[in-house]
Amino acid sequence: MEMIQTPEINLSAICHILTLCVTGLLILVLDLFINDQKLLPFKIDKKLLPYVALGGVILAGISSMNDFGPAVYAFNNTIAADNFAAFFNVIFCIGTALTIMISINYMEQEDLNHSEYYALLLFATAGMMLMALAASLITVFLGLELMSISLYILAGFNRAKVESTESALKYFLLGAFATGFLLYGMALIYGATGSTNLKEIAAAIKGDTLNSATLLYLGTGLMVIGLGFKVASVPFHMWTPDVYEGAPTAITAFMSVGPKAAGFAAFFRVFLVGLGGITDHWVSLIWVIAALTMTVGNLTALAQTNIKRMLAYSSISHAGYVLVALVAANEIGSTAVLYYMLAYAFMNIGAFTVVIVLGKKGEENLNLEDYSGLASRHPLLGFTMAVFMFSLAGIPPLAGFFGKFYIFSAAIKAGYVGLAVIGLLNSVVAVFYYLRITVLIYIKDPVREFPPLSISPFTLAALVIAVIGTIQLGIFPSWILEIAQSSSLF
Amino acid sequence: MVPLTHYLLVSAILFSLGVAGVMLRRNVIMIFMSIELMLNAVNLTFVAFSKFLNNLDGHIFTFMVMTVAAAEAAVGLAIVIAIFRNKPTANVDEINLLKL
Amino acid sequence: MLNQYLGVLILLVLATGTAVGMLTLTSLLGPKKSFPDKMEPFECGKKPIVSPRQRFSVKFYLTAVLFILFDIEAVFLYPWAILFKKLGWFGFVEMLLFIVVLGIGLVYVWKKGALKWE
């Protein structure tokens, strides 16, 4: 009897994913037996489970940092553990760790203290890592779905609240719809090139051994729709403000950073590695989407009165800036995206943390007016919010400025001056609505009494980390840029 | 033998029917079924390509799509039940608290 | 070659014609009197006690959801079962891990009380 040759198994290439999955399962199982302490050999308090999750994420983050170095291809070339993936994985771990830190107090306050929340966060992070590591369409799809399915549940986690379940339903229906397009695109690309492996797809395009060029172009277009939806680019952005508004705020913070970065990781990997040979065919499409995303995102953000919706539109416009880097398709662009996503993780989660700190159960204080005069009552909190707003607006010397600077210089270097100009004009528009909040905080008189703040140590730590990250990346960008440069796809 | 084009045409038609269903139907469960139709149209494409290219990747992909679709169905049904408990309707037009 | 199918074609036309013709004739000629007993789902049986269109318990959905999940995951067992001997110990251990993860899911569902009907 002939035995089947099994491909080489390299568990160390995915040990961060395994860490997250095992920790997630552990939390689920521990939670089951918490009410039945006699079945457990040791005593454990339900309050400890979030810290178990945090520990798992930190471990995964450390093992992602160990991944920097020569690229490792594992599992029959479906996993590419290179610097690009390692950099993204570190971003995911930072995003998830910060989310867990701000969730501990928030979820208790909202009476949502279920351990499944943390398990799902870990599973979603594992999915994002799989997307960053993916070197095959199958792994891209699996990672994307692991992330999305966890997020559908997380968006509707506050199941007693109509808005939360409604946002989950919208996210689910539109997400599954987009998955259909993405998959059809993958199927056509597979048919055209005869492989699901990104490198083999690239080789088939380069060696001109395509079965059908038409199918390839059709598939590429369908994949743009599918991935464009996941990163919330115009015209596939309609779900974003609704879902961001309805989901629990901690989850909104999480969704605006990790899954978006993961979507871009997959976007860059598939389009630059797999479909890099037909750049001419998709670049104009992405050009239009990038310009639309920036413009529509920023202009609609101007009209918002709810801070969560405003941040949702702002995150749409930021997706537009990152797409500019994809259009550039060069080394600076790829470097800039890594830097930008890291900076964005700090500043956006930071901004949402301030939103969480200012809210109480049943009284979330989400109107922009509620921020009037914040600095006169809570000067430090007002200052941190101002830092995040300035950074999101792209004002030097904060992290957001350098991110935008590198992205636009990448576009100019690649010859897309028009797109860079559109981006610059958009940044000017964006300054207006970010500054409006800062003006409210510093110049307006308070419209209401601010209650005394009760900020838990972990939330405070998350806020401090976010502020330090935002300022530090802005003032000393060079060391992180060096790492990003060594992690670029080119 | 039935040529590849026929399989591709059938799956393209099924996929379009699914897309049309998502756009036109107003009942959550029907929308949901239309999405499943889209996914299964893709499965047909994968299997057809797999057969004609003599390559097993498509089969593996189909397995993954099937299991993921099942997980998605489970989560989707759960969300519909959760929303039904808050607001007894399955019509997407009435699920409109968040403005679009 | 198409001649072979001529009979089938004639049969198809005849069958369709008969069915359509009979349906049209009855709807044209038949008397139309409706009374409550006639409108019941089982005209010759017992009267239904409750309306068949009533809502049924949401518990059925839960059972259905769990069934879909565990049923479809079993799809991975079939290729493994066919190649069981050729895959050897490696396949056995891999599948054992897969089943352990599924088992954790089952334990979770069980402990959460989702398998209890009442």
Domain boundaries, chain A: 11-486
User: Nearest-CA distance from A163 to chain B in Å?
Assistant: 7
> A471 CB near a chain B CB, below 8 Å?
no
Residue C43 has a pLDDT of 64
The residue with tokens 């334990």 is C107
Distant-in-sequence, close-in-space partners of A185: CB < 8 Å, separation ≥ 6: A218, A219, A220, A221, A222, A223, A224, A225, A226
- Residue C11 CA to residue C16 CA, distance in Å, equals 8
Continuous segment of H or E residues that includes residue A229: helix A213-230
Kindly determine whether residue C104 and residue A29, on different chains, have CB atoms separated by under 8 Å: yes
Residue of A nearest to B49 (CA): A191
Kindly determine whether residue B63 and residue C61, on different chains, have CB atoms separated by under 8 Å: no
Query: Tell me: the pLDDT tens digits for A154-204?
Result: 999 998 888 899 899 999 999 999 999 999 999 999 999 999 999 999 999
Q: Which of A166, A187, A197 sits opposite B97 (nearest CB)?
A: A166
Query: Tell me: the pLDDT tens digits for B36-90?
Result: 999 999 999 999 999 999 999 999 999 999 999 999 999 998 998 888 888 776 6
Question: Does the pLDDT value for residue A1 go beyond 80?
Answer: no
* Residue closest to B35 by CA, chosen among A173, A126, A318, A278: A173
Residue A416 has a pLDDT of 94
Query: Tell me: the pLDDT tens digits for A345-367?
Result: 999 999 999 999 888 776 667 78
CATH no., domain C59-111: 1.20.58.1610
Q: Between residues 164 and 193 of chain A, which touch chain B (CB distance below 8 Å)? A: 165-170, 172-173, 176-177, 179-180, 183-184, 186-188, 190-191
Q: What is the DSSP string of C93-105?
A: HHHHHHHHHHHHH
User: Nearest-CA distance from B74 to chain C in Å?
Assistant: 5
Residue A36 has a pLDDT of 72
Residue of B nearest to C63 (CA): B74
Task: Using an 8 Å CB-CB cutoff, list chain C residues near A126.
Answer: none
- Residue A393 CA to residue A37 CA, distance in Å, equals 51
ipTM of the prediction: 0.94
> A303 CB near a chain B CB, below 8 Å?
no
Tens of pLDDT, residue by residue, chain C (118 residues):
556 678 778 888 999 999 999 889 988 888 777 777 777 766 677 777 777 667 667 778 888 888 888 888 888 898 889 988 888 888 899 899 999 999 999 999 998 888 887 6
Task: Using an 8 Å CB-CB cutoff, list chain A residues near C86.
Answer: 1-4
Task: Using an 8 Å CB-CB cutoff, list chain C residues near B78.
Answer: 65
Residue B100 has a pLDDT of 42
- Domains of chain B (ranges; CATH) run 4-94 (1.10.287.3510)
Q: Which chains does chain B touch, 3 or more C-beta pairs < 8 A?
A: A, C
Q: Which chains does chain A touch, 3 or more C-beta pairs < 8 A?
A: B, C
User: Nearest-CA distance from C80 to chain A in Å?
Assistant: 12
- Residue C91 CA to residue C28 CA, distance in Å, equals 67
Site from C68, C73, C102 to mutate, B interface, most B CB atoms within 10 angstroms: C68
Query: Tell me: the pLDDT tens digits for A106-143?
Result: 998 888 889 999 999 999 999 999 999 999 999 999 99
Q: Which of A137, A166, A177 sits opposite B98 (nearest CB)?
A: A166
Residue A366 φ/ψ region, left for φ over 0, alpha for ψ in the -120 to 50 degree band, beta for the rest: alpha
Question: Does the pLDDT value for residue B99 go beyond 60?
Answer: no
Instruction: Tally the C-alpha atoms within 13 A of residue A297's C-alpha that lie toward its C-beta.
Output: 34
Kindly determine whether residue B98 and residue A211, on different chains, have CB atoms separated by under 8 Å: no
Task: Specify the DSSP class assigned to residue A196.
Answer: S
